[in-house]
């Protein structure tokens, strides 16, 4: 009962933070890309602290409520599922469950490049997702044999930003999957090839800035927070939830 109460409380706290970030539009030039709000700032940390499943739920609740507060159109409720997916991926990587993430990236890349119109768009326009995929492959190659339930704080300074970056790029890749392979660019928005090329150019320039901001915030806030929670024995509970 104590563990369940703690989980519910943390989900509620992070959901509230996600509501605030999602309903805050902020600086226009940073919100015209993949994300239309600042939810990307808190998204990775939600998954890292709560775990992949509770992180997904908390981010989903926050994003949905935030979208009702700042309504962007009914179609955005579909695209916002990318945010909880990104939180879940960051949570999975923090627990060294990289195989699931590797399959996810591989399948979505296959779906994208199997779509004919993808080859009419700038291949380099998705360079940040390629870099995240390469980083994921490197993580797989150097993965240790330690149990997923073990947590060491010594490597947080480089683990947290990597987990944040790959999680956010997973979010981006999900939205691209809806946009191109699912053809919402045509069915919902009515975009032409020329429109898509402009969007790809803007995304290649703006999205990495957003990802860098989130990675920095995740490191600055996440390192002291995780060390504090570890001392309190919090992660002993969290890894038990993940195994159940």
pLDDT in tens, 33-75: 456 788 999 999 999 999 999 999 999 999 999 988 888 778 8
Percentages (nearest 5) of helix, strand, coil residues in the chain? 75, 0, 25
Q: What percent of the chain has pLDDT over 90?
A: 59
Contact criterion met (CB below 8 Å) for 156 and 223: yes
CA pseudo-torsion sign 223, 47, 164, 217: negative
Q: What percent of the chain has pLDDT over 70?
A: 84
Contact criterion met (CB below 8 Å) for 81 and 43: no
Measured distance CA(102)–CA(80) in Å, rounded: 22
Residue 22: predicted pLDDT: 87
**DSSP string over 82-107:** HHHHHHHHHHHHHTT-HHHHHHHHHH
Q: Which of 71-80, 135-144, 199-208 has the lowest mean pLDDT?
A: 135-144
Residue 34: predicted pLDDT: 54
pTM to 2 decimal places: 0.89
Domain positions in the chain:
2-239
Residue 152: predicted pLDDT: 53
CA 186 vs CA 11, 35, 198: distances in Å: 36, 19, 15
The predicted model gives 235-240 an average pLDDT of 54
Residue 9: predicted pLDDT: 82
Measured distance CA(64)–CA(24) in Å, rounded: 13
Burial class (CB in 10 A: 0-12, 13-18, 19+), 184: middle
- Rg (the chain; Cα; Å): 18
pLDDT higher than threshold 90 for residue 96: no
Residue 2: predicted pLDDT: 57
Residue 95: predicted pLDDT: 87
- Tell me which of 164 and 145 has the higher pLDDT: 164
Q: What is the mean pLDDT of the chain?
A: 85
Give 239's pLDDT tier (boundaries 50, 70, 90). low
Contact criterion met (CB below 8 Å) for 182 and 117: no
User: For the chain, give me the number of helices (H) and strands (E)?
Assistant: 11, 0
**DSSP string over 196-210:** HHHHHHHHHHHHHHH
pLDDT higher than threshold 50 for residue 103: yes
């Amino acid at each position: 009962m104590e563990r369940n109460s703690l989980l519910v409380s943390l989900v509620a706290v992070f959901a509230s933070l996600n509501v605030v970030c999602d309903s805050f539009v902020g600086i226009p030039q940073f919100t015209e890309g993949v994300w239309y709000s600042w939810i990307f700032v808190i998204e990775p940390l939600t998954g890292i602290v709560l775990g992949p499943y509770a992180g997904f739920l908390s981010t989903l609740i926050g994003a949905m409520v935030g979208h009702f507060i700042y309504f962007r159109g009914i179609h955005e409720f579909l695209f916002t599922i990318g945010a909880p997916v990104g939180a879940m991926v960051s949570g999975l990587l923090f627990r060294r469950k990289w195989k699931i993430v590797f399959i996810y990236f591989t399948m979505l890349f296959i779906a994208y490049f199997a779509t004919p119109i993808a080859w009419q768009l700038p291949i380099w326009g998705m360079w940040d997702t390629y870099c995240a995929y390469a980083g994921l492959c490197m993580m797989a190659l150097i993965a240790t044999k330690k149990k997923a339930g073990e947590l060491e704080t010594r490597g947080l300074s480089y683990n947290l930003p990597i987990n944040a970056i790959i999680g956010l790029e997973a979010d981006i890749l999900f939205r691209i999957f809806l946009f191109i392979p699912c053809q919402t660019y045509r069915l919902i928005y009515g975009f032409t090839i020329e429109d898509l090329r402009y969007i790809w150019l803007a995304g290649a320039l703006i999205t990495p800035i957003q990802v860098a901001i989130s990675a920095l915030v995740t490191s600055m806030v996440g390192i002291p927070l995780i060390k504090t929670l570890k001392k309190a024995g919090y992660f002993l509970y969290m890894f038990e939830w993940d195994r159940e």
